[in-house]
A and B are shown apart, each in its own frame.
Chain A
Amino acid sequence: MGFREKAVEVPAAAAVLALRRAEAQAEADAFRSLFLEHSGAVHRFLKDLLRDSTLADEGLQETFVRAHERLGTLEQRDRVLGWLLGIARNVSLELRRARRRDGPGEGDLRGERASAAPSPEHVLLGREEMEVVERAMSSLSEDKRAALLLRFDHGLPYEEIASTLGWSLSKAKVEVHRARLKLRAALDAAGEDDGGAA
């Protein structure tokens, strides 16, 4: 009887072990594909919020480390980008607070120097138009900037923006609308200046 029980137990334990290994491997693969697919968007979002490449790199790592911890809590797989950007926003707020506490560091100076030189996107899009966008973006509050980026850059629907930022649906709509009006006014004014100059 005891022998028979042992004979059954050993393959069962091996199967459980193999199953666990397979699950861990599947989880690692899922995390890898998640990173490869969304790291660009998350980094862009962080860089737009923090306006500092070094901090954005740091934020990207922290965002995905947290995402790795909480991967099991992700309920709607089709909303993964919104979920990641929500984590990224919290990370950006923490980094910003830490930067404020520690005072301007080397990263900020680097960021300032970088903004003085034309970035690749400036060259491709036309420096003036990009500068208008950047100026308009930096004049927005952090909340409005995040909302505008989530809608226009990352194409999230309003429901997802609201849940990502922890807002009501109507607040998400109002904030995006106000931010867009500011951006549009800046673009229109720049267009008129160009027309006047021509």
Chain B
Amino acid sequence: MSAACDLEQLESLAFDELPLDQARRALEHAGACGPCGLELAALRRERALFHARAAARPALPRLELFAKVEGAAKARALKQRARREVAAFALCAASLLCVVGLAARSAHEVVPMSASADAMEPCTSSEGPGYSRACGAVASMDEIGSLDAHFGACLVATPARCR
């Protein structure tokens, strides 16, 4: 073996992967270099062995097999489609339930806020009344009215009224 010996190139030559001019040069080198000649012969022998082995395999009943594969592919596609449809239906149903649930909840929530007098402070905002810790808690209108009068602050009843 010398610096000119290139085993990868020899393999590419044995597998007919080299362009014509490179193949000619590699072939010339293998003809002149003993180890490369032997390596090329061994590679060709091994490749021929695999080719012969493949060619000797009995032919498959391909059309018959294709009918089975086609049937199985269609069945699986149908199954997947059905699964997707069930998933989509479940998603729609869940969304609908959420919407109905939210609508029912908002219909029952006349006054969504609540406040307990212990948790409140009078409004100290420089912008004037309109903000309180009561915002976000649930209370009845009467309770809010009494708290409002007691603290002198605007205790908001709904988030929309929070400023």
Contact = CB atoms under 8 A, between A and B. Distances in A.
Given A65-B73, A68-B69, 8 more contacts: A35-B65, A35-B69, A64-B73, A120-B56, A121-B53, A153-B54, A155-B15, A157-B17
Contacts of B62: 35-36, 39-40
A121 B53 CA distance: 6
A60 interface: yes
A125 B53 contact: yes
Contacts of A40: 57, 59-60, 62
Nearest to B47: A152
* 3 tightest A-B CB contacts, nearest first: A121-B56, A68-B73, A124-B56
A32 interface: yes
A153 B53 contact: yes
Interface residues of B, number: 29
User: Which of B53, B57, B59 has the largest count of A CB atoms less than 10 A from its CB?
Assistant: B53
A120 B57 contact: yes
B18 to A, nearest CB: 12
A140 interface: no
A14 to B, nearest CB: 24
What's the dominant secondary structure at chain A's contact region?
helix
B42 interface: yes
A19 to B, nearest CB: 20
29 contacts: A31-B70, A32-B66, A32-B70, A35-B66, A36-B62, A39-B60, A39-B66, A41-B54, A43-B60, A61-B65, A61-B68, A64-B69, A64-B73, A65-B73, A69-B76, A69-B80, A120-B56, A120-B57, A124-B52, A125-B49, A125-B52, A125-B53, A130-B53, A133-B49, A152-B46, A152-B47, A153-B50, A155-B15, A173-B8
A35 B15 CA distance: 25
Interface of A: 31-32, 35-36, 39-41, 43-44, 57, 60-61, 64-65, 68-69, 120-121, 123-125, 129-130, 133, 149, 152-153, 155, 157, 173, 180, 183-184, 187
B128 interface: no
B50 A69 contact: no
A123 B77 CA distance: 42
B66 A36 contact: yes
Contact of B46 (A64, A121, A124, A183): A183
B58 interface: yes
A44 B54 CA distance: 8
A121 B57 contact: yes
A173 B49 CA distance: 20
Contacts of B68: 61
A184 B60 contact: no
B49 A65 contact: no
A157 B52 CA distance: 20
Interface string B33-72: 0000000001001110110111011111011011011101
A184 B56 contact: no
A41 B55 CA distance: 10
A120 B53 CA distance: 10
A155 B66 CA distance: 25
Given A35-B62, A43-B60, A69 B53 contact: no
A75 B39 CA distance: 36
Given A124-B56, A133-B49, A152-B50, A61 B72 contact: yes
B69 A133 contact: no
